Amino acid sequence: MNEFELIQTFFARQQINRADVAAGIGDDAALLQPPPGQLLAVTSDLLVSGVHFFPDTDPAALGHKALAVNLSDLAAMGAEPAWFLLNLTLPKVDAAWLEKFCRGMFGLAREYGAQLVGGDTSRGPLAIAIEAHGFVPAGLALRRSGAKVGDRIYVTGTLGDAALALQQRRGRLSLPKNEIASVAERLDRPTPRVREGLALRGVANSAIDVSDGLLADLGHILEMSRVGARIFLDKLPVSPVCRAHLNDLGWDAVLANGDDYELCFTVPAANIAALEKIPVADDFRHIGEIEVEAGLRILDESGKAYRPRETGHDHFAESKRGNT
């Protein structure tokens, strides 16, 4: 099977045809019709075997996650997903692997109305680069640079489950079987917070997705907004399973692991009432405040300063080979 047939067979079979795609897969470039009056949000994320995922990862989970991490970036901008491109290097053409990969990727794509419009494939070490496009009205985009002194800091969902699953998979923690499934799902098939991002348009002053760890990602907001913050350990939302293993896992893993793909965002006092009216607001947790003093202060249960040893993810740090 040659490259062209491969593309035709697996990637032309998605079950979505957006009206704004004038030409999808099959020409030198896709031809797309952006909606008038909106900005185009464009993002790209790499997943490399042995760096971002274990080589034996279920291909369906990989297809899901490769797209999910990009939709998560769109969510963090308050953008509505539309189109994506896939660059895939594979050691060999493995029909069963591709079938599962596509099932995971297209399953998530359909859920968010995103259409595959192009990309490239090659023989090579297993790696996936997806590039996703979305729309956001000018002026409503959620930026890292928008946080203001006095804003409340929130996160969606819970943090730490993916870290727990990773430690379990590496043999450093041993979880009961019934707990493994729920946390593994968080690591393997993260849910991009697209609906939450759209709901936060005009409500949040700033947002970022927690892909490199809360400390690193909130750190980006602080740096870009030229502000500081304090957050409270006992306000960080963790799942019941995560809380049960928190003594073994440690707060550092919750603070420094990014694979949960939640959103961290800040809201000014004037918008709290609007925030609370959002249908999914029960899922938002108030974890701290934006302050004028630079830097991030973490306070523990007793109000004392907590000093984490890890501060976030670095894909070039040699000490971090493997799936973090």
Q: How many CB atoms lie within 10 A of CB 270?
A: 10
Residue 153 three-state SS: strand
Give CA–CA dist 309/50, Å, rounded: 24
The two beta strands, 263-267 and 206-209, are: antiparallel
CA-based radius of gyration for the chain: 20
44 sits near its own copies (criterion: CB under 8 A) = yes
In whole angstroms, the minimum distance from the beta carbon of 128 to its own copies comes to 10
The stretch among 8-16, 175-183, 205-213, 242-250 that binds its own copies (CB under 8 A) is 205-213
65 sits near its own copies (criterion: CB under 8 A) = no
77 sits near its own copies (criterion: CB under 8 A) = yes
34 sits near its own copies (criterion: CB under 8 A) = yes
CB nearer to its own copies: pick between 42 and 246: 42
In whole angstroms, the minimum distance from the beta carbon of 118 to its own copies comes to 6
Residues 274-293 that bind its own copies (CB under 8 A): none
What one-character-per-residue DSSP string does 252-311 give?
A: HHHHH--TT--EEEEE-GGGHHHHHTSTTGGGEEEEEEEESSSEEEEE-TTS-B---S--
Per CB under 8 A, the list member of 12, 13, 33, 272 interacting with its own copies is 33
Residues 139-168 that bind its own copies (CB under 8 A): 141, 143-145
Per CB under 8 A, the list member of 9, 18, 54, 87 interacting with its own copies is 87
Per CB under 8 A, the list member of 67, 117, 175, 241 interacting with its own copies is 117
In whole angstroms, the minimum distance from the beta carbon of 301 to its own copies comes to 31
Q: At what angle do helices 59-77 and 177-188 cross, to 10 degrees?
A: 60
CB nearer to its own copies: pick between 26 and 295: 26
Q: How many CB atoms lie within 10 A of CB 226?
A: 11
With a CB cutoff of 8 Å and minimum separation 6, the contacts of 235 are 285, 286, 287, 288
In whole angstroms, the minimum distance from the beta carbon of 317 to its own copies comes to 7
Give yes or no for a contact between 43 and 131, defined as CB atoms under 8 angstroms apart. Answer: yes
In whole angstroms, the minimum distance from the beta carbon of 4 to its own copies comes to 8
Distances (CA, A) of 159 to 209, 215, 280: 12, 12, 17
Give yes or no for a contact between 286 and 235, defined as CB atoms under 8 angstroms apart. Answer: yes
Per CB under 8 A, the list member of 16, 46, 244, 246 interacting with its own copies is 46
Sign of the dihedral defined by the CA atoms of residues 226, 232, 237, 242, in that order: positive
In whole angstroms, the minimum distance from the beta carbon of 102 to its own copies comes to 17
In whole angstroms, the minimum distance from the beta carbon of 10 to its own copies comes to 13
Partnered with residue 207 across adjacent β-strands are: 265
Contact residues for its own copies (CB under 8 A)? 1-4, 6, 22-23, 26-34, 36, 39-46, 48-52, 73-74, 76-77, 79, 83, 85, 87, 89, 92-93, 117-125, 127, 129, 131-134, 136, 138, 141, 143-145, 207-209, 224, 314-317
